[in-house]
Structure 1
Amino acid sequence: MKVLLIKDVKSLGKAGEVKEVKDGYGKNFLIGKGLALHATNDVLRKYEAQKKREKEQEAKEIAEAEKLAETLNSTKLTIKHKVGANGHLIGSVTNKEISEALSSEFKIELDKKNISLEKKIKAPGIYEVTCKLGHAVNANLKVDIIGE
């Protein structure tokens, strides 16, 4: 019996492979536990079509991420923050604050978890912040902190 593995099976193969197995093992264990499907022509065609759709979706997401990266690399974000008597900021500028400023100023929605600060921003100046956009696409955003 031929089966199409949907999940990795130890000592048999990886997901997407077509394997020849004994009938009992295929029907009772692999298909019964949802690890494989009976490898008919129809099932193989559907699986290939699904893989093709997933690749197209991934390519579309990568293109959108690269376009956003270009936008962020050429953007300079200005944030006003309160300054204490010693010239340092009161508190620090957080990735949440940067995310909110991007949203309000440039209409770019970026989750605060995707903005990484090398060290806390505690003084006015220009800083470079790394933004993770998914699919191994990163952007560097320049953030200008102005005291008020």
Structure 2
Amino acid sequence: MKLILTQEVSGLGAPGDIVEVKDGYGRNYLIPRGYAIKWTRGGEKQVEQIKRARHAREIRDLGHAQEVKGRLESLSIKLPTRAGESGRLFGSVTVADIAEAVKNAGGPEIDKRRIELAAPIKTIGVHQVTVRLHPEVTAKLEFEVVPA
């Protein structure tokens, strides 16, 4: 099955890429979740739009990725969240919350899909996540969850 990716899929490709996958994987996973659309000749026009949008927000090269990594790792980020007496959060911290906290702390605007959260963050304290900036560059982002 030939598909056009609309979002980045680990191990498969980036938005705008045309990929060949097994029918079941495309029909049952990629298309229903909005990660891909079926390939058509008309879809080729959409590929150009997707690639232009990706290029506008993409990190330009390895040097730019290293610069952004330095800025991210030097930030002091505090994320105020509602928490109970024992230090457990009401809910959990999401990647969207982390991306917003980075922006509010004066850091670069990063795409929430580039943040890798190993396990849900449900407690107060210092936590660390990985941010994939470039295929060769990952940044370790450290932030503190504080009660609001």
Question: Which letter maps to 1:99?
Answer: A
On the 8 A contact 2:81/2:145 being kept in 1, the answer is yes
Compute the TM-score of the two structures, normalised by the length of structure 2: 0.56
Q: Does the C-alpha gap of structure 1 residues 84 and 122 become closer, same or farther in structure 2, counting only changes over 3 Å?
A: same
The answer on whether the counterparts of 1:115 and 1:130 sit within 8 Å (CA) in structure 2 is yes
Deviations 1:39-69 (A, max 9, x none): xxxxxxxxxxxxxxxxxxxxx6110000111
Match of residue 127 from structure 1: 127
Q: Which moved more, 1:95-104 or 1:84-93?
A: 84-93
- Residue 93 (structure 1) aligned with residue 93 (structure 2): yes
Aligned counterpart, 1:77: 77
The CA deviation string for residues 90-135 of structure 1, in whole angstroms up to 9 with x for no partner, is: 0000110000111122141100000111111100000111000013
1:23-34 equivalent positions in 2, closer than 5 A: none
**Number of the residue aligned with 2:52:** none
Provide the secondary structure at the position in 1 that maps to 2:126.
strand
CA contact (8 A) 1:77 1:141 kept: no
- The answer to whether the Cα contact below 8 Å between 1:88 and 1:123 also exists between their aligned partners in 2 is yes
Question: 2:76–2:105: 8 Å Cα contact kept in structure 1?
Answer: no
Q: Is it true that 1:106 corresponds to 2:99 in the alignment?
A: no
Q: SS in structure 1 opposite 2:122?
A: coil
Task: Please tell me the root mean square deviation across aligned C-alpha atoms, in Å.
Answer: 1.4
5+ residue gaps, structure 1, are 1-59
Higher strand share: 2
Structure 2 SS opposite 1:91: strand
Determine helix, strand or coil for the equivalent of 1:133.
strand
- 2:64 alignment counterpart: 64
- % same residue: 30
Alignment of 1:146 onto 2:146: yes
Deviations 1:2-54 (A, max 9, x none): xxxxxxxxxxxxxxxxxxxxxxxxxxxxxxxxxxxxxxxxxxxxxxxxxxxxx
| Structure 1 runs, 4 residues or longer, greater than 2 Å off | 84-87
Kept in 2, the 8 Å contact 1:124–1:144? The answer is yes
Residue-pair matches, total: 89
CA gap of 1:142–1:107, structure 2 versus 1, over 3 A, is closer
Distance across 2 between alignment mates of 1:135 and 1:116: 14
Q: Which has the larger radius of gyration?
A: 1
Q: Residue 96 of structure 1 aligns to which amino acid in structure 2?
A: A
Q: Which structure is higher in helix share? A: 1
Q: In the aligned structure 1, how far is the partner of 2:133 from the partner of 2:99?
A: 13
